[in-house]
């Protein structure tokens, strides 16, 4: 079984490498800006969902307030850049670190909570942050902040005409998030997390420090989410509290992982590849009427997938493998 | 206002708190009830106060149907039951908003000149708006009724037993789906009551439910899962805290107080005030 597992991991790595390579050449052939835009969003949601999956999927701590970290990332970069002239590259890392620290500070009291109490606490904390930012004049309040565009530059990571640099950055982010997950899956942390998810008491009795493993998962997850937020801010060059920190967004971030397969390596990416294009296409083709047909289709799709495949779409690909490992 | 939150939360307390099923479409149930009340008024000139029982009956049917068509399968899911419940009802919420936009348009609507609109009553020199007062009375009655219902009737006991152990209740001849469908119907009917009363003094639009739903979740969790009395107490606390916060902070921040109190309570007592789980 050990070799089976090692084989599987090696195969996962090879498949991921091939997929990334294929993805990297796609925009050279697909020049349509609209399609490229969808691809960037798909990659971004894939990365976000992958990060969310680390805390909520592997470690089992269902967070419905990840918009907090996304917003923190977006706001840190934007404020550092617009008010202090700090380049977004540093802002991204800074935002990530701030989010990780805040995730641990919040985790300290929150990880005592179980189940619904925990999930609602995460919602409530994100909501408090949202309200505070909406009322913080210096940080743009409810109107948000526009990032001034100058010229195309890698240094400032802004490009007015081409979507390609964003595409490659998002692709890189997905690869990093995927690789971190892949690597953690077989590390002692990965095993701890799954133990904590399945049975915290038993894990504790076997010497897993449950609290610390939750903190670790929260920090990694928050860091990656915040980098995603910083990227989003640069990508759309305008942020406002509701769009980067709203409750709705927390759910959107979790959705690809849930539909694709929660707590799995490929689930979040698979979910994003299916969900995001469908969302965007329905929005632009039938949402124009403003009469909500796109919402009906989109919501119906979510209901259908989540009921038909509770264990996630990724299970469609793995029935044989499951039996083999048993 | 606190009892009003309590009234919205009581339906959720039944579904979320007692049956332990997550319903992310609770706010949309409320929205639907408000529209139902609005149209009864607009087409048949039935005052929201009289329409309340009709709306509640309609929502009862709707709630039971939603359970049988969607939630039944979500509860039965073998893997990730919690997430499936969250996202199937979240999907439902999106669909309901879409349907509302499609048929009712995103315009803001309000019930014009209901009997009680804008009327106030003076008790010991304090002027209280009548619709809110009625809402408070209905909320108290609803809580009392639910408390009696859960603790004193066979159906209430069956409901709690089903949540505890569906397999065991099947052995003594209780059909889980029937009990839960009735529970959902009842929960939805209570929201219907809340919606009809709120249509007297709130604007009605497709997204109206969202802001109330979040506070309703907090109310139920604050009081503690598994306790009707907890949800009632939670509603009163939430109302008082909101009113107090509004005195100190700008109105746009009034919810911050509610959320902060929730965090304080669960940090000290991780199962809510009166929770049994």
Per-residue model confidence (pLDDT) at position A137: 73
Task: Name which of B87, B106, B252 is nearest A134 (Cβ-Cβ).
Answer: B252
Per-residue model confidence (pLDDT) at position A322: 45
Count CB atoms within 10 A of the CB of residue A318: 17
Residue A295 to residue B267, Cβ atoms within 8 A: no
Spatial CA neighbour of A228 closest among A179, A174, A188: A174
CB B19 within 8 A of CB B159: yes
Per-residue model confidence (pLDDT) at position A150: 67
**Mean pLDDT rounded to a whole number for chain B:** 78
Residue A37 forms part of a structural domain: yes
How many angstroms separate the CA of residue A271 from the nearest CA in chain B? Answer: 13
Residue A100 forms part of a structural domain: yes
Contacts 24+ apart (CB under 8 A), B262-265: B262/A120, B262/A121, B262/A124, B262/B218, B262/B221, B262/B222, B263/A109, B263/A121, B263/A124, B263/A125, B265/B222
Q: Is A237 left (phi over 0), alpha (psi -120 to 50) or beta?
A: left
Nearest residue in chain B measured CA to CA from A129: B256
Residue A151 forms part of a structural domain: yes
Question: What would the pLDDT profile of B31-72 be if each residue is shown by its tens digit?
Answer: 888 888 888 887 777 777 777 888 888 888 888 888 888 887
How many angstroms separate the CA of residue A307 from the nearest CA in chain B? Answer: 6
Lowest mean pLDDT among A316-325, B168-177, B218-227, B253-262: A316-325
**What CATH number does the domain containing A113 carry?**
1.10.3470
Residue A285 forms part of a structural domain: no
**In chain A, which residues have their Cβ closer than 8 Å to the Cβ of B221?**
116-117, 120
- List alpha helices for B115-227, DSSP H: 130-152, 154-164, 166-171, 176-198, 208-223
Residue A132 forms part of a structural domain: yes
pTM: 0.82
Range of the domain at A92: 2-246
Residue A306 forms part of a structural domain: no
How many angstroms separate the CA of residue A322 from the nearest CA in chain B? Answer: 15
Per-residue model confidence (pLDDT) at position B169: 73
Helix (H) or strand (E) holding B5: helix B2-12
How many angstroms separate the CA of residue A24 from the nearest CA in chain B? Answer: 32
- A146 pLDDT tier (thresholds 50, 70, 90): confident
Nearest residue in chain B measured CA to CA from A125: B259
- Is B256 in the A-facing interface, judged by CB distances under 8 Å? yes
Q: Which ipTM value was assigned to this complex? A: 0.78
Token digits of residue B204:
């009605």
Count of structural domains within chain A: 1
Question: What would the pLDDT profile of A45-68 be if each residue is shown by its tens digit?
Answer: 888 888 888 888 788 788 888 888
- Rounded average pLDDT over B224-245: 81
Question: What would the pLDDT profile of B187-226 be if each residue is shown by its tens digit?
Answer: 888 888 888 888 877 778 877 777 788 888 888 888 887 7
- Rounded average pLDDT over A141-148: 72
Name the residue with higher pLDDT: A201 or B78. A201
Residue B87 to residue A291, Cβ atoms within 8 A: no
**In chain B, which residues have their Cβ closer than 8 Å to the Cβ of A109?**
263, 267
Lowest mean pLDDT among A148-152, A216-220, B88-92: A148-152
**In chain B, which residues have their Cβ closer than 8 Å to the Cβ of A117?**
221, 225, 266, 270-272
Residue B87 to residue A306, Cβ atoms within 8 A: yes
Residue A269 forms part of a structural domain: no
Residue A307 to residue B218, Cβ atoms within 8 A: no
Q: Is the pLDDT of residue B7 over 50?
A: yes
Question: What would the pLDDT profile of A244-257 be if each residue is shown by its tens digit?
Answer: 787 888 888 888 88
Per-residue model confidence (pLDDT) at position B118: 54
Task: Name which of B84, B90, B252 is nearest A135 (Cβ-Cβ).
Answer: B252
Spatial CA neighbour of B198 closest among B36, B22, B54, B59: B36
- Is A117 in the B-facing interface, judged by CB distances under 8 Å? yes
Residue A131 to residue B253, Cβ atoms within 8 A: yes
- Of all residues in chain A, what percent carry a pLDDT higher than 70? 90
Per-residue model confidence (pLDDT) at position A324: 39
Task: Name which of B95, B260, B272 is nearest A117 (Cβ-Cβ).
Answer: B272
- Rounded average pLDDT over B232-237: 83
How many angstroms separate the CA of residue A145 from the nearest CA in chain B? Answer: 20
Residue A258 forms part of a structural domain: no
């Amino acid at each position: 079984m050990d070799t089976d597992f090692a084989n599987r991991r090696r195969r996962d790595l090879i498949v991921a490498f091939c997929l990334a390579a294929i993805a990297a050449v796609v925009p050279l052939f697909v020049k349509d800006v609209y399609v490229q835009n969808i691809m960037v969003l798909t990659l971004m949601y894939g990365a976000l969902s992958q990060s969310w999956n680390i805390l909520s999927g592997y470690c089992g701590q269902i967070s419905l307030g990840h918009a907090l970290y996304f917003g923190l990332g977006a706001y840190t970069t934007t404020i550092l850049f617009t008010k202090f002239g700090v380049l977004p590259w540093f802002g991204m890392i800074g935002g990530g670190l701030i989010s990780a620290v805040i995730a641990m500070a919040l985790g300290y009291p929150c990880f005592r909570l179980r189940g619904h109490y925990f999930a609602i606490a995460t919602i409530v904390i994100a909501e408090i942050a949202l309200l505070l930012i909406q009322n913080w004049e210096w940080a743009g309040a409810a109107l948000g902040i526009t990032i001034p565009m100058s010229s195309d530059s890698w240094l400032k990571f802004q490009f007015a005409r081409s979507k390609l640099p964003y595409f490659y950055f998002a692709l890189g982010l997905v690869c990093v998030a995927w690789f971190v997950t892949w690597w953690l899956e077989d590390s002692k942390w990965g095993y701890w997390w799954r133990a904590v998810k399945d049975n915290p008491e038993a894990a504790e009795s076997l010497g897993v420090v449950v609290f610390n493993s939750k903190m670790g998962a929260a920090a990694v997850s928050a860091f990656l989410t915040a980098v995603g937020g910083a990227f989003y801010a640069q990508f759309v060059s305008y942020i406002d509290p509701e769009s980067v920190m709203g409750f709705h967004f927390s759910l959107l971030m979790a959705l690809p992982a849930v539909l694709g397969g929660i707590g799995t390596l490929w689930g979040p990416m698979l979910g994003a590849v299916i969900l995001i294009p469908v969302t965007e296409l329905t929005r632009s083709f039938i949402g124009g009427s403003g009469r909500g047909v796109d919402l009906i289709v989109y919501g119906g799709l979510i209901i259908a997938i989540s009921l038909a495949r509770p264990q996630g779409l990724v299970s469609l690909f793995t029935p044989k493998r499951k039996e083999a490992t048993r | 206002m606190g009892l009003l939150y309590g009234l919205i939360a009581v339906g959720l307390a039944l579904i979320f708190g007692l049956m332990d099923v997550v319903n992310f479409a609770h706010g949309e149930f409320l929205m639907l009830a408000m529209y139902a009340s609005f149209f009864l008024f607009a087409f048949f000139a039935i005052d929201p106060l009289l329409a309340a029982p009709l709306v509640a009956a309609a929502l009862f049917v709707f709630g039971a149907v939603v359970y049988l068509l969607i939630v039944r399968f979500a509860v039965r899911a073998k893997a990730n039951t919690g997430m499936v419940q969250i996202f199937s009802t979240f999907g439902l919420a999106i669909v309901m908003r879409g349907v509302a936009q499609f048929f009712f348009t995103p315009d803001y609507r309000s019930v014009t000149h209901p009997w009680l609109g804008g009327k106030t009553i003076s008790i010991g020199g304090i002027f209280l708006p009548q619709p809110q007062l009625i809402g408070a009375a209905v909320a108290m009655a609803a809580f009392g009724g639910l408390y009696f219902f859960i603790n004193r009737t066979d159906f209430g006991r069956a409901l709690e037993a089903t949540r505890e152990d569906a397999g065991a209740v099947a052995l003594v001849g209780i059909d889980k789906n029937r009990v839960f469908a009735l529970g959902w119907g009842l929960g939805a009917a209570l929201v219907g009551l809340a919606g009809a009363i709120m249509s007297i003094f709130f604007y009605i639009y497709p997204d109206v439910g969202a802001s109330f739903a979040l506070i309703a979740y907090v109310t139920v969790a604050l009081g503690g899962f598994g306790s009707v009395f907890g949800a009632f107490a939670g509603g009163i606390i939430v109302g008082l805290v909101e009113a107090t916060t509004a005195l100190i902070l700008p109105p746009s921040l009034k919810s911050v107080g509610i959320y902060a109190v929730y965090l304080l309570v669960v940090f000290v007592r991780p199962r809510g005030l009166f929770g049994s789980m």
